Chain A
Amino acid sequence: MKSSTCIIGIIGMFSFLLCFSACQSQEEILREQYVVEGMGQYERHCENCHQKDGSGLKDLYPPLAKTDVWKRLSAYQLTCIIKYGQKDTIVVNQKVYQNYMPGNTKLEALDIAELITYMREKWGDDKRIFPLDSARLALKNCH
């Protein structure tokens, strides 16, 4: 009787662990999907100005790589800048950029969630997913 409970316990624990790791990897799969999709979004909507490697263009367009943007601005703020543009000057790495950035009004919450997940991983040293719900919430609170 005792040994059978023990076996059941072991099986139970094992299946729990299995499920847990499977769940985790599912989340990881989703994040990786976001990163891949986000890379495509970046190529289509951002790379023209900010360049493929995120280095920007002289004093015209600010860099994204190796910048304080990722520490200074929240994903919520970034969501609004991506969607509605940046009309005022922006300071990046203590340098002032005056060119206005046009908004990408055609991008939906999912596109932006993917984009930010991609950029944060690449340049922000931040491997968290930026969830779709958060992007939706951010968009509701822009302006």
Chain B
Amino acid sequence: MPSINIKIRLILLLVIIFNAACQEKRTLPILGHKDTVVKAGKVDTIYHQIPAFQFLNQDSVWISDKNYEGKIYIADFFFTSCPTICPKMKTQMLRLYERYANQDQIGLLSFSIDPEFDRPNVLKAYASRLHIQSPKWNLVTGEKAKIYELGQKSFMVTTQEDKNEAGGFVHSGAFILVDKQRHVRGIYDGTKEQEVNHLMEDIELLLKEK
């Protein structure tokens, strides 16, 4: 009997160690198109990165990729007069805003896909009604074509005008997680609490990298 007991204990211990080892290995993938180049006889993988950008925020201040250098940030696409999924997204983004309020290495960035209407003053009014502030959470506007291109090509989400859609635009409710090297590390449904919980777990993983 005692020997069986010891065996069981040993197995249990092994299972625990094995599990712990597996959990530590979990890393987030780098999403998007990959390229390989040969440099000095070595094969190098070039991952998809968010390119340089520059837009005006709710305080009429220029915000560029430089503002997010060395930071982890969560981006989304919305518009202030959106009657459909934006309110849900903003409810979830507020959770992130409150949770990471004191962590300077984490930022939030919302692009307006109705930039002609959402001028900085409109974004300012929206931000103050949401009780949020820059630079923790920048709401940005600019040239429509540039925002759409950035959304579709770089953040890999749907953004376009559609007169048949309530509010006049179609866009995904995605939250895009970008790491300190400008790589996209995850895309989540920003309208669902569960998915945003998952996003927060992934942020913890990113914080442990390097």
Contact = CB atoms under 8 A, between A and B. Distances in A.
Interface in B151-187: 166-167
Nearest to B130: A58
B86 to A, nearest CB: 8
A51 B166 CA distance: 19
B131 A57 contact: no
B91 interface: yes
Nearest to A48: B87
Assign chain A's interface to a size class.
Answer: 10 to 19
B129 A60 contact: yes
Interface in A94-116: 98-100, 102
Contact of A48 (B84, B128, B129): B84
A58 B88 contact: no
B83 interface: yes
A122 B15 CA distance: 51
B126 interface: yes
A49 B130 contact: no
A59 interface: yes
B85 interface: yes
A2 B91 CA distance: 75
A61 interface: yes
B84 to A, nearest CB: 7
Interface string B57-90: 0000000000000000000000001011101101
Interface in B128-145: 128-131
Interface string B85-126: 101101100100000000000000000000000000000011
A102 B167 contact: yes
Contacts of A61: 87
Nearest to B91: A57
Contact of A102 (B83, B88, B126): B83
Contacts of B131: 58-59
B85 A48 contact: yes
A20 B131 CA distance: 55
Contacts of B94: 57-58
Contact of B129 (A49, A51, A58, A100): A58
A102 B166 contact: yes
A106 B182 CA distance: 43
A61 B81 CA distance: 12
Closest 6 CB pairs of A and B: A59-B129, A102-B83, A49-B87, A60-B129, A48-B87, A58-B130
Interface of A: 48-49, 51, 57-61, 98-100, 102
7 contacts: A48-B83, A49-B83, A57-B90, A58-B94, A59-B131, A102-B166, A102-B167
Given A60-B87, A98-B129, 13 more contacts: A48-B85, A48-B87, A48-B88, A49-B83, A49-B87, A57-B87, A57-B91, A57-B94, A58-B129, A58-B131, A59-B130, A61-B87, A100-B81
